[in-house]
Amino acid sequence: MKASVVIATYNRAADLRQTLASLAQLRPRHSWELIVVDNNSGDDTRAVVEQARAGFPVPLHYVFEKAQGRSPALNAGIRRAQGDIIVTTDDDVRVEPDWLDRAADALERLGCDYVGGRVLPIWGGPRPAWLPDRGGKHWAVIALLDYGAEPLEFGSRVPLGVNMAFRREAFDRTGPFDPDTGRKAGTLLGQEVREWCIRARAAGVRGFYAPELVVRHIIPASRLNKAYFRRWFYWRGISRARLYEKSGLDMEAPERTTLDSRKVPHVLGVPRYLYRKTLVSAGRAMAARLRGNALESFDHELWVWFFFGILARRWRHRGRPDDRATVAHAGVP
């Protein structure tokens, strides 16, 4: 088996049905299989997989994972996978017939252990004027990515799990995704891919952005509003604080090594400099709004929501000992 495609899904049977139809059009040079991990769904996800299996061009496997969370679900799929290359994506994508060939070719051409590619939108509603149509920092909120036309090694930039391909040995050297990190039902927790990439780099596992590797990601209209973006940045703050508690990684920029945030002054468990930065951002947001620049004001406001998430998590966990890995900073770019 050359490649295994792994999808983690939760209560999105209708989206999954269309994604399976898209994946059925793949025509790679080598053998492959598809593994759908049902993360304890309450809808008819299993029936959708069973219906698709009958006419699917390659082996289609259903795996049930009771432990809630994207990371446990992906790990279950990876354990089941037989391929030399393991490819991860989501239950709401569209792919081109040569997608798997592009993944395999990129791994060979770049001589690396994993690759991540572009994630471009299929807008499920009108795109608001404040959201760029091509790249920009807000794309991460809705799981889109475009780092340009040239390959680059992942370091301060990280891929999105919706479009990644790994040599199987990468997981042997780095380990699985952290089951305590990442999206869980009812939350917007994240950072599971970033945490894995940091561990991978520390282990000498190299990854590259491959611009020719592309998926189209459906962006529902329910996410194309400022309320969703505020909520996402708030949960990002919570996610970064969880990483800090577990591994001592800097909450603002986990990849950087120039600052060990464990050694700076803290207030209520939060590095003091983050309070200063938040006050500056709040002031800039207000000033931009007074100038009539709503877009700039919103950009600065999102940092404030990020900080609120950090503060909320650290306040709730005040007095608890942090479980920080001593190797967290070793080899991080």
Residues 184 and 300 in one domain: no
What is the predicted pLDDT for the residue at 329? 38
**Number of structural domains the chain divides into:** 2
Divide the 333 residues of the chain into consecutive groups of 10 and give the mean pLDDT of each group. 94 97 97 97 97 96 95 97 98 97 98 98 93 85 96 94 98 94 83 94 96 97 96 95 86 74 83 94 95 91 96 84 44 35
Are both 211 and 251 inside the same structural domain?
Answer: no
- 248 and 191 in a single domain? The answer is no
Does residue 249 lie within any of the structural domains?
A: yes
As a whole-number percent, the residues of the chain with pLDDT over 70 amount to 93
Residue 258 has a pLDDT of 60
* Domain at 72, CATH number: 3.90.550.10
**pLDDT value of position 333:** 33
Asked if residue 195 and residue 163 are part of one domain, the reply reads yes
- Cα separation, 102 vs 260, in Å, equals 39
pLDDT tens digits along 162-186: 999 999 999 999 999 999 887 887 8
Q: Does 98 reside within a domain?
A: yes
- pLDDT tens sequence across 241-268: 998 888 788 888 887 766 666 678 889 8
Domain around 243: 227-316
**pLDDT at residue 260, as a whole number:** 66
The verdict on residue 333 lying in a domain is no
Same domain as 264, residue 174: no
Residue at a domain's end among 194, 224, 254: 224
- 3-class SS letters over the chain: CCEEEEEEECCCHHHHHHHHHHHCCCCCCCCEEEEEEECCCCCCHHHHHHHHHHHCCCCEEEEECCCCCHHHHHHHHHHHCCCCEEEEECCCEECCCCHHHHHHHHHHHHCCCEEEEEEEEEECCCCCCCCCCCCCHHHHHHCCECCCCCCEECCCCCCCHHHEEEEHHHHHHHCCCCCCCCCCCCCCCCCHHHHHHHHHHHCCCCEEEEEEEEEEEEECHHHCCHHHHHHHHHHHHHHHHHHHHHHCCCCCCCCCCCCCHHHCCEECCEEHHHHHHHHHHHHHHHHHHHCCCHHHHHHHHHHHHHHHHHHHHHHHCCCCCCCCCCCCCCCCC
Mark whether 83 and 231 lie in a shared domain: no
Same domain, 218 and 235: no
At 328 the pLDDT is 38
In a domain, 330, yes or no: no
pLDDT on residue 325: 41
- Based on the fold, state whether residues 301 and 254 are members of the same structural domain: yes
Q: Would you say residue 328 lies in a domain?
A: no
Has residue 100 been placed in a domain?
Answer: yes
> Does the residue 77 lie in any domain?
yes
